[in-house]
Structure 1
Amino acid sequence: MYSHLLVTVAYEGQHDAAPSLEIAGALAAEGAKVTLLHVMEPAPVFALDYLPDNWREDMHAAIKADLGTLAAQFEHGSAVVVEGDPASEVLEFAQTHGVDCIVVASHRPGTHSLMLGSTANKIVARAPCAVHVARRG
């Protein structure tokens, strides 16, 4: 059982946080801290002129609110939204906040992810703690 779990939550495509949250609940020790983390990647430079003013702040607030609702199912749940490279930000958060288990979702690898490396692969390879990979389809 773990005392501080970090659950990565993506807001794209068919990512469903429910399996990762269920796993976190099963792995958490009594009174464990569970942090839900979303990493907002930078928008492509070419798209910035087409986005409305305050789009980043509005998106950040909406994601933080949704994460907060998800985190409320844990006694000591919290929600964090950061910006940057997903794997790097997850690893840095885990290192600096005493996380002892990261729960990350991953799809079945195909040729594309084997050649370029997926976020989950990078996290598993460099994590300072245990990592539980929640497989999707």
Structure 2
Amino acid sequence: MARTILLPIDLSDPHSWDKSLPEALTLLGPDGVLHVVSVLPDFGLAQVGTFFGRDFEKKALHEFGERLGEWVSTNIPDGIEAHPHVLHGTIYDEILRAAEKLGVDVIVMGSHRPALQDYLLGPNAARVVRHARCSVYVVRG
């Protein structure tokens, strides 16, 4: 059983967590902590950011945080210590950074059905598996 688990989810895609959430709850020890993270991607190129208003990023992060908090309240059973974390940047980088910062025992994440170009694992899951310093449990979607 794991003491601390990181569960990355995509709020817009239930397949990112419909199978990985039950697995994470099964692996979580009786006094364990579940860290639920969701990543709001950045704009990428600076030129793209100029098309949005000054407060867009701040408002988007705030709304994203509210949605993640609601997701945790709705989907995590009572009695489980769960902490939502909004991350901002490149998905796999932010997941790896959060795992390090939080000192988690294992990352439990879903992986979509692969296309030919990313056969076996999706690109984010594959990068997390290759670079994580902790165990990674990938649940096939």
Query: Which TM-score band applies after superposition, normalised by the shorter structure?
Result: 0.7 to 0.9
Runs of 4+ in 1 over 6 A off after TM superposition: none
Q: Secondary structure at the match of 1:15?
A: helix
Distance 1:98-1:71 versus aligned 2 partners, 3 A rule: farther
Counterpart check, 1:56 vs 2:56: no
Q: Secondary structure at the match of 2:12?
A: coil
Q: Deviations over 1:98-135 (max 9, x none)?
A: 10000111012222325xx6000000011111111111
Hey, what does 1:38 align to over in structure 2? 38
Counterpart check, 1:23 vs 2:28: no
Q: Give unpaired runs (5+ residues) of structure 2.
A: none
Hey, what does 2:138 align to over in structure 1? 133
Q: Give unpaired runs (5+ residues) of structure 1.
A: none
In the comparison of the two structures, how many residue pairs are matched? 134
**Letter aligned with residue 4 of structure 1:** T
Hey, what does 2:128 align to over in structure 1? 123
How far apart in 1 are the matches of 2:104 and 2:62?
Answer: 28
1:47 CA displacement: 7.4
How far apart in 2 are the matches of 1:85 and 1:19?
Answer: 23
- The percent identity for this pair of structures is 23
Determine if contact 1:34/1:71 at 8 Å carries over to the other structure. Answer: no
Q: Deviations over 1:54-106 (max 9, x none)?
A: 44145323333223314642521111111011111111111121100001110
**Letter aligned with residue 86 of structure 2:** V
Hey, what does 1:8 align to over in structure 2? 8
TM-score (norm 1): 0.82
TM-score (norm 2): 0.80
